[in-house]
């Protein structure tokens, strides 16, 4: 670390990198000082996802000191590329997801901010509906979920295929690869509205791909959240 601080360069790129690194280190140290006294009311497991969400909960606990009106966090869990041993792998992963989310939701409730918190899952690809003999292969469409204390939940949104066999208009074959029926931008539209963004007037900036899909398929904040009705 000392070498990083002490090194010098006449390159504008290197100088910019050094300045950003210096700022990042200072910000990390400042955040560490804020997190040090934070205690949580909820116990988290020790797996990777639980530890990530535990740290998110700690940062949310410093929101007053950080003076941030809105916060966005990204956590991840890999290991779902189940070409084989799918049943065991998915059961283990979903058990981790359930444990981590249960602890996180309990902690948000303890902090009194669950109604102001939303969790949206995402994935870079889906899975085939048909088995390859040991698991499933890469595909397109999939199911994702949104959680929030403010959510008008208990619903499955989007257009579910009327049937799933080879005659389905969204089944492109190759072991039942299904085309998505709802674009990502459709749910991000409502989530962004709830978050306070002026999506209607800044659609091309916030969700540039949304214009490629029907307006009536957009899921608005009023459809998703109780406070927006």
Distance CA 210, CA 93 (A): 32
Dump the DSSP string for 161-175: -S--STT-TTB-STT
180 compared with 76, residue with greater pLDDT: 76
pLDDT of residue 107: 98
Q: End-to-end alpha-carbon separation of the chain, Å?
A: 52
pLDDT of residue 9: 62
126 compared with 191, residue with greater pLDDT: 191
Domain ranges of the chain: 1-37
Which of 8-17, 66-75, 185-194 shows the lowest mean pLDDT across its residues?
A: 8-17
pLDDT of residue 203: 93
Which single residue is written with the structure tokens 């989007």? 158
pLDDT in tens, 17-41: 888 988 899 888 988 888 888 899 9
């Amino acid at each position: 670390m000392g070498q990083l601080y002490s090194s010098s360069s006449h390159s504008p790129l290197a100088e910019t990198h050094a300045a950003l690194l210096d700022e990042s280190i200072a910000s990390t140290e400042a955040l560490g000082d804020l997190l040090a006294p934070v205690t949580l009311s909820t116990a988290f497991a020790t797996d990777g996802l639980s530890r990530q969400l535990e740290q998110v909960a700690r940062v949310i606990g410093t929101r007053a000191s950080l003076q941030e009106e809105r916060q966005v966090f990204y956590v991840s869990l890999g290991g779902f590329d189940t070409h084989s041993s799918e049943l065991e792998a998915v059961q283990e992963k979903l058990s981790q997801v359930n444990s981590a989310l249960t602890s996180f939701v309990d902690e948000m409730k303890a902090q009194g901010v669950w109604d102001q918190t939303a969790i949206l899952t995402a994935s870079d690809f889906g899975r085939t509906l048909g088995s390859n003999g040991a698991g499933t292969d890469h595909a397109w469409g999939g199911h994702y979920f949104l959680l929030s204390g403010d959510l008008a939940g208990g619903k499955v949104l989007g257009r579910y295929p009327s049937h799933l066999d080879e005659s389905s208009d969204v089944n492109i074959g190759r072991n039942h690869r299904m085309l998505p029926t709802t674009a990502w931008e459709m749910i991000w539209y409502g989530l962004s509205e709830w978050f306070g963004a002026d999506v209607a007037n800044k659609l091309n900036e916030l969700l540039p791909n949304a214009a490629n899909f029907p307006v009536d398929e957009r899921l608005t904040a009023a459809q998703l959240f109780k406070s927006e009705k």
